[in-house]
Structure 1
Amino acid sequence: MKNRFYRATRKSDFFYWRDAKPANNLGVQQYHLVSVFLAFVFFACKEIDTERPPCDAENVTIPHDTSFLSTPLVIPTRLIEDKLNRSMGQYILHDDDFDNLNIEGKKDKLKLKVTRLGDIRVSWENNVASCRAPLLVLLERQLVGNKVLPLSESILLKSEFSLLLVFETTIHIGEDWKLLPDTKFRSLRWLSEATALGGLIDLKKTIERKLYLRMPKILENMDDSIRTKVRLHRVMTKVWRNIQKPIIINRKEELVWLKIHPIRFEMGTITTEVDNLMIQCRLSATTETLVGNDPAYTIDSILPPLVNRRSLPNEAYAYLLAEIPYEDLNEILDRKLEGKVFKIRGHRVKVEFAEMWGCGANLVLHLKVRGSVRGEIYFQGMPHYEADSQRIVIQNFEFDVRTEEVLLASADWLLHSTFEDQMKTALSIPLAKKMAKIPEALMRGIERGRVGKKMDFAVERWDFRPQQIWVRPAGLVALVIVKAQVRAEMEQF
């Protein structure tokens, strides 16, 4: 029997056969298999040829709003005591002349030396320091001068006593950052008996009169010593310069730095806490994010005048720019999409590769797929922060217009499926964990910096609220408003 030809005729998407009596069954079966395979390839795997969306360069202006770090600055009393004891001289009063005149205009015939017997102790009530100074009093009284008797030396009475002087110093700080102390005498308490000749002569009144007469000079010397030795201007100038040095907040791949541009310092009330001095301070500044191993930056070395306020809020209110590199976003996409198969109305689409990048104000999602459709697919949408869920979501998300045109001609079923919504869901990026790491990164950066070596910062409450998302060439930039209660304690003075 002669072989007969078979002809396949398409009808309503099905193949049927006419005159289908083959010469042998094996040839028919092979022909059927080849035909079915060709039909599957022709209908089930559409090759698409799409174009990458063109992107116009867009100049994005990100605002640099002023941040305010308002915090109580706690200065431990021990630091003030150490500074005061190092700055004060050993001699409080040194009168080495018998011929000084007393109130009555006569020679007092006394030499009086008053030296520190121990460390000065300080306690605070608001901005008033109560200083208790234990003193050693060395008194020499000339009983008979060498002009009265033909002796080579005078007949002297030498005695040592101890007493406690209490001063009160009110501290103010001028616009030039110099301390303005105002010290007043408050009380005197004897720590030992002040008598001579076995108690026959009581010297308390004599010594007290001598001290009271010299008290204005003693107080003036104390104020001068505080002004010249406690150099707050020098300390704050170092702080002003050091806070301008970038702080590392991310070490992944490229280093990310936070650069602070300070504007001014303000000072409010001065109070006490557990006998420590507490000054309410506020720093006004703008912030900037730098990238790279050694970013270039400048420092304004001139400390501006101090601005005094009646009161300041106890809260930090800062604007930070949090950068989210596309590398991080693409890692999330890989976990969500790579190798995943989507079943859509009898079709199968497998995602082999997924990535995103910025295109003007939009994000582009690029997929390489195979299965019922094979090729590259592009989506576009605008990122937006959703406060309730603390996630980045994509608004106006849709197929790129060039991809849509190709799919209309070859795989329109994909346009009318849920595939677009599934991709939009995959692009929903949670930020809660990333935001939670910001306080730790900031505090770690501060502690590593030079400011952290002089001050100890404690954050009692954080509240992070991203406000706006911008698309940049290297990644997304989120404007984050930070509200916090911060406490700073000086460790070096």
Structure 2
Amino acid sequence: MALSQDTSYLSTPLVIPTRLIEEKLNNSIKLNLLDDSDTKRPPRKRRNENMYLKVSRLGDIQVHWRNNVATYQAPLQVLIERKIINKKVLPALKSLALKTEFSLQLDFQTTLNLGADWNLQPKTKFISFKWLSEVKTLGGLINIKGMVERRIRHQMPQILKNMDDTIRAKVHIDRAITRIWQNIQKPIRINQKEETVWLKINPIQFEMGNITTENGNLLIQGRLSATTETIVGNEPVYALDSTLPPLVKRRILPNEAYIYMLSKIPYTDINQIIKEKFVGQGFNVSGHSIKVKQVEIWGCGPNLILHFQVSGSAKGDIYFQGTPYYDRDSQHLVIQNFDFQIQTQEALPAGLDWLLHSTFKEQIKNAFSIPLTEKIAKIPDAIMQGIERGKAGQKMDFIIEQWDFKPQQIWVRESDIVALIIVKAQVRLEVEKI
């Protein structure tokens, strides 16, 4: 049997550690950014055959975020060689050249956004030069600083395009989200004792709010809407929808998970609780004494049937019925509309009318109170443990920062009671691989 609920919403910041983006950039951007000795470049495009320029990355690129804007520095090593005697002039001599080497830093900013297709939309701009070492004047022949800056500025449009192309090609938010989308559809086993219980999630869409920064890391506010089912028995059959739906953008999203869950409470568990509470207990009723020998509960349609076997002033079997109700103040399951069944009145021996008109019913009703907090509290932890054990958890770190639950509705079934619970939580997802 499967019971479905209304749409659930999991609003959570998606944390992408800066170190992952730095690793991608440093592994993707070539060490040699510009090299005039590249033989693949046609000679006619070399502006000055007597000038050789080589620009190499000197160290790692470091990224700093402010909201969705990344500021980063590229330290560079520059080698300049100028020929002063060419073989064409003096064939008998070797070519002579003046060389100088120095370092500088280029500062960039990249604004990141996501398109409806989940692909990154980077827009990089050049900010400034910073000279890191003294620049020799190459024999006083040329203004090296001016020459280098002009050369780099001339090629800056292509440099910026290459950087944006590299970010789009190497940093794939869409892949991380697709893995979540696909893996979350696979039923999650949340209980293996006695009966196996599965949580089946049917995702509907992803939404994205602000892109901000937290503790130096990129933080994307997102929300997943889905329907959920709690299924008892064998692993449910499911059809995997591998297509990631278009991204829906919102100006702002709440930072709260709002999930409808079902918690199953078997009658075996309830009977254990009420046996400890009632068996051996005595009741004083209208000057008579009644002792409970045995007690049992089961479901019948929308009602619970409570069977007492008693001794003392009244001997025999007494049956009550009523509808279950969750008391939010005490967080206990109680019974409403509690009364004797008609056949019970007929089955009572003659002379026991005092039992029907006494306070016995109210005493039993008031004593029947089953705590649900401990059982229900295990559900969110079981779900997150199931996700962590699954494939989705291998790429993500799920963190429940705080949560609260409120049972909303109770169903009576043949083998158990099922409670519809609204779980409110604050959850964080941290990407471990992009």
Q: Does the pair score TM above 0.5?
A: yes
What whole-Å deviation, never above 9, does each CA across 1:295-316 have from its counterpart, x for those lacking one?
A: 4444322211111111111222
- Aligned match of 1:110: 51
- Aligned match of 1:342: 283
What whole-Å deviation, never above 9, does each CA across 1:329-363 have from its counterpart, x for those lacking one?
A: 11111111223333434544332322211111111
Q: Distance in 2 between matches of 1:149 and 1:199?
A: 23
Query: Could you tell me whether the CA contact under 8 Å between 1:98 and 1:142 is conserved in 2?
Result: no
Deviation at 1:181, TM superposition (A): 1.0
1:219 equivalent in alignment to 2:180: no
- Aligned match of 1:240: 181
| Residue identity matched to 1:311 | I
Say what the alpha-carbon RMSD is for the aligned residues: 2.5
Q: Distance in 1 between matches of 2:45 and 2:82?
A: 14
1:258 equivalent in alignment to 2:205: no
What is the SS of the residue equivalent to 2:379?
helix
Moved more, 62-71 or 441-450: 441-450
What is the SS of the residue equivalent to 1:389?
coil
What whole-Å deviation, never above 9, does each CA across 1:181-238 have from its counterpart, x for those lacking one?
A: 1111111111122325466754221122211111111111111111111122222111
What is the SS of the residue equivalent to 2:174?
helix
1:448 equivalent in alignment to 2:389: yes
What is the SS of the residue equivalent to 2:404?
strand
Moved more, 322-331 or 253-262: 253-262
Q: Distance in 1 between matches of 2:34 and 2:368?
A: 78
| Residue identity matched to 1:167 | F
What whole-Å deviation, never above 9, does each CA across 1:455-480 have from its counterpart, x for those lacking one?
A: 33333332211111111223111111
What is the SS of the residue equivalent to 1:173?
coil
What whole-Å deviation, never above 9, does each CA across 1:145-175 have from its counterpart, x for those lacking one?
A: 3322214753333332211111111111111
Deviation at 1:245, TM superposition (A): 2.8
What is the SS of the residue equivalent to 2:283?
strand
Q: Distance in 2 between matches of 1:480 and 1:94?
A: 65
Moved more, 168-177 or 413-422: 413-422
Give the alignment partner of residue 353 of structure 1, picking from 257, 269, 294.
294
What is the SS of the residue equivalent to 1:177?
coil
Query: Could you tell me whether the CA contact under 8 Å between 1:367 and 1:377 is conserved in 2?
Result: yes
Query: Could you tell me whether the CA contact under 8 Å between 1:94 and 1:113 is conserved in 2?
Result: yes
What is the SS of the residue equivalent to 2:323?
strand
Spell out the pairing of 1:267-346 with structure 2 (5 A cutoff).
Answer: 267-292=208-233, 294-346=235-287
Give the alignment partner of residue 348 of structure 2, picking from 388, 393, 407.
407
Query: Could you tell me whether the CA contact under 8 Å between 1:461 and 1:485 is conserved in 2?
Result: yes
Unpaired runs of at least 5, structure 2: none
Query: Could you tell me whether the CA contact under 8 Å between 2:99 and 2:138 is conserved in 1?
Result: no
Spell out the pairing of 1:344-493 with structure 2 (5 A cutoff).
Answer: 344-407=285-348, 409=350, 411-493=352-434
Query: Could you tell me whether the CA contact under 8 Å between 2:198 and 2:235 is conserved in 1?
Result: no
Change (3 A) 1:229 1:167: same
Query: Could you tell me whether the CA contact under 8 Å between 2:212 and 2:218 is conserved in 1?
Result: yes
TM-score normalised by structure 2 residue count: 0.91
| Residue identity matched to 1:358 | G
| Residue identity matched to 1:388 | D
Q: Distance in 2 between matches of 1:425 and 1:242?
A: 47
Query: Could you tell me whether the CA contact under 8 Å between 2:138 and 2:144 is conserved in 1?
Result: no
Spell out the pairing of 1:42-57 with structure 2 (5 A cutoff).
Answer: none
Q: Distance in 2 between matches of 1:276 and 1:199?
A: 47
Query: Could you tell me whether the CA contact under 8 Å between 2:70 and 2:109 is conserved in 1?
Result: yes
What is the SS of the residue equivalent to 2:160?
helix
Q: Distance in 2 between matches of 1:109 and 1:242?
A: 59
Deviation at 1:63, TM superposition (A): 5.1
Change (3 A) 1:164 1:453: same
Q: Which has the greater radius of gyration?
A: 1
Deviation at 1:396, TM superposition (A): 0.8
| Residue identity matched to 1:329 | I
| Residue identity matched to 2:97 | L
**Corresponding pairs, count:** 431
- Aligned match of 1:131: 72
Query: Could you tell me whether the CA contact under 8 Å between 1:340 and 1:350 is conserved in 2?
Result: yes
Q: Distance in 1 between matches of 2:30 and 2:346?
A: 89
Q: Distance in 2 between matches of 1:269 and 1:326?
A: 47
| Residue identity matched to 1:342 | F
Query: Could you tell me whether the CA contact under 8 Å between 1:98 and 1:108 is conserved in 2?
Result: no
Change (3 A) 1:441 1:113: same
| Residue identity matched to 2:272 | E
What is the SS of the residue equivalent to 1:300?
coil
Query: Could you tell me whether the CA contact under 8 Å between 1:98 and 1:107 is conserved in 2?
Result: no
What is the SS of the residue equivalent to 1:299?
coil
